[in-house]
A and B are shown apart, each in its own frame.
Chain A
Amino acid sequence: MIRFVDVHKSYRVDGRDIPALQPFSLEVADGEVFGIIGLSGAGKSTLIRLINLLERPSGGTIFVGDTEMTALAEPALRAQRRRIGMIFQHFNLLASQTVADNVAFPMRLAGERDAAVLRQRVDELLARVGLTDHADKYPSQLSGGQKQRVGIARALANRPSILLCDEATSALDPQTTASVLDLLAEINRELKLTIVLITHEMDVVRRVCDRVAVLDAGEIVERGSVIDVFLHPQHATTKRFVNEALPEETIGDEAAFARVPGRILRLSFRGDATWTPVLGQVARDTGIDFNLLAGRIDRIKDMPYGQLTLAMQGERIDAAMSALRKAGIEIEELRP
């Protein structure tokens, strides 16, 4: 578990303190994929660097497992850092070393000298990231996606319990991004690794994260399970991120809705509710009519979900609504 307690951070610039992160507390559970999303300058790269203390907080305490990171002296901190892997937007590989030597590097830093042990572990890691044939190449001979795979193999070398991803897919094209995210999800599942990632793309959060925190100008403005945040974004920044990732198909804006008679409802389906023909059944049973105004259907990580905005007309709308709720559908009334 990673725990921030009343942590804040400001930078001293020309004798003045410039706040980068407002005081916050946050917990990341073991084995989850936790996303931190924000625009550039929101403070997300500062936040992720607080975990391995590449950035020191101006106040508050940070725990990784039972260890109070903020209380550690240099040598103990270095030992802890070896148990936290990190990958970067620009990969940060050693240009002068081969792929195999890059992957072996953290083990060598940790004092492993046995060539056979190193070789075996490097082979194992390169097999995991699908780069077995590239062991003797130099980073400059690899594509961006391959470089990030080397970064992942390197980060896993010392068998960490936590992996930090600093905009790990931001320099990659969409297809490569998808394959790197799949790899991260696989590592999370198979190695039970806790992953904290920062990104400015909601799509990254949607594909791999279990929970998300939205950072806006140094402040966590929203947090929760990814599906809740996607279905019911509260803060303006969150809404913008959600809409960028999954634009709603709609007949028009609020003004267009005004021309439609009936009560306007937004129905959110998730998981099992998406598999049953519940809307049709309820409409037949209660004799209501509905008119679709907007909607989206997608998956969040492994969970399918849908969201429909519709205008409902008929005598027994309340009965229909309670039947829908009973079937596990969330309803927001946009216009009673």
Chain B
Amino acid sequence: MTTHAIHATPILQALFPNIDDWGEIGHACIDTLLMLGGSLLLTIILGLPLGVLLYLTGRGQLRPMPKLYAIASLLVNILRSVPFIILMIVLMPVTYFLVGTKLGIRGAIPPLVIGAAPFFARLVETALREVEHGVIEASQAMGASLWQIVRHVLLPEARGGLLAGVTVTAIALVGYTAMGGAIGSGGLGDLAYRYGYLSYKSDYMLVTVALLIVLVQLLQMLGDRVVAYYGRR
């Protein structure tokens, strides 16, 4: 919460009579972006290896391990089948253990990552499966080790799909961060919930929703551009 309230111009004041502090909205935007950036980074760091593991141990793949695959797959499915708002509440003790708080940006990041990483891992698995088997076979014929195949063949060849997966995950995380507002994680969702829903200030709701739409649009556009540039030529 800002100490010096930023007051709106008369036009904005007429349009959104309940919003007396635009600085608070700006602050919430920054919180949302911080949660998004932090959780996206950690989601990639956790989800990418998990996705590679799912791919490699799958049936008929490079290192088929049915039991390991079944366990990893089950874990991923369980985490993905719990609605995020419930997952967040269930995970509260874990969150407290990991970051020492259940609130704010720090408190939001563990559930966001635990919710999004399995989702991203599935997208990684799917993207890797799109890599032609022939290319993998060719690198095996050249004497590549498993690690070399992952590092120099699978990941670069699947780059387009992986980046598209990051985009989809980022957009899903925007939704998750907004839900986080309901249990006190801050950000735009928090604003919409507290003012827009609990206090019937529907202009807050309107502004928040508009900002979320803009954020999602920007992410999708950015993602599409990156995919077009780095994707398959």
- If the complex has contacts A81-B142, A82-B142, A105-B142, are A140 and B233 also in contact, measured as CB distance less than 8 A? yes
Residues of A close to B59: CB separation below 8 A: none
**Within A88-117, which residues are at the interface with B (CB < 8 Å)?**
88, 90, 92-97, 105-106, 108-110
CB of B72 within 8 A of chain A?
Answer: no
Residues of A close to B140: CB separation below 8 A: 54, 81
* Number of B interface residues in the complex (CB < 8 A): 20
Complex: chain A residue closest to B134, CB-CB: A92
Contact status B153-A78, CB under 8 Å: no
Contact status A86-B138, CB under 8 Å: yes
Q: How far is the CA of A16 from the CA of B140 in the complex (A)?
A: 28
CB of B10 within 8 A of chain A?
Answer: no
Contact status B143-A82, CB under 8 Å: yes
* Chain A proximity of B28: nearest CB distance (Å): 40
CB of B102 within 8 A of chain A?
Answer: no
Q: How far is the CA of A248 from the CA of B137 in the complex (A)?
A: 40
CB of B202 within 8 A of chain A?
Answer: no
Contact status A54-B156, CB under 8 Å: no
Q: How far is the CA of A88 from the CA of B134 in the complex (A)?
A: 8
Q: How far is the CA of A78 from the CA of B134 in the complex (A)?
A: 18
Residues of A close to B157: CB separation below 8 A: 94-96
* Chain B proximity of A27: nearest CB distance (Å): 22
Contact status B156-A97, CB under 8 Å: yes
Contact status B134-A109, CB under 8 Å: no
Residues on B close to A: CB < 8 A? 132, 134-135, 137-145, 148, 152-153, 156-157, 159, 232-233
**Within A218-270, which residues are at the interface with B (CB < 8 Å)?**
none
- If the complex has contacts A88-B138, A90-B134, A105-B152, are A96 and B232 also in contact, measured as CB distance less than 8 A? yes
Q: How far is the CA of A158 from the CA of B139 in the complex (A)?
A: 13
Complex: chain B residue closest to A151, CB-CB: B138
Chain B binding surface SS class: helix
Task: Provide 13 A-B residue pairs closer than 8 Å at the C-beta atoms, listed in order of the A residue.
Answer: A82-B142, A84-B141, A92-B138, A93-B135, A94-B135, A94-B157, A96-B157, A96-B233, A97-B156, A105-B139, A105-B152, A141-B233, A158-B142
* Chain B proximity of A285: nearest CB distance (Å): 59
CB of A18 within 8 A of chain B?
Answer: no
Residues of A close to B134: CB separation below 8 A: 88, 90, 92
Residues of A close to B137: CB separation below 8 A: 54, 88, 92
Contact status B232-A81, CB under 8 Å: no
Residues of A close to B143: CB separation below 8 A: 78-82, 106, 109-110
Contact status B233-A138, CB under 8 Å: yes
Contact status B232-A109, CB under 8 Å: no
- If the complex has contacts A88-B138, A106-B142, A109-B142, are A95 and B233 also in contact, measured as CB distance less than 8 A? yes
8 Å CB contact of A78 from B145, B156, B159, B233: B145
- If the complex has contacts A81-B140, A81-B142, A82-B143, are A92 and B152 also in contact, measured as CB distance less than 8 A? no
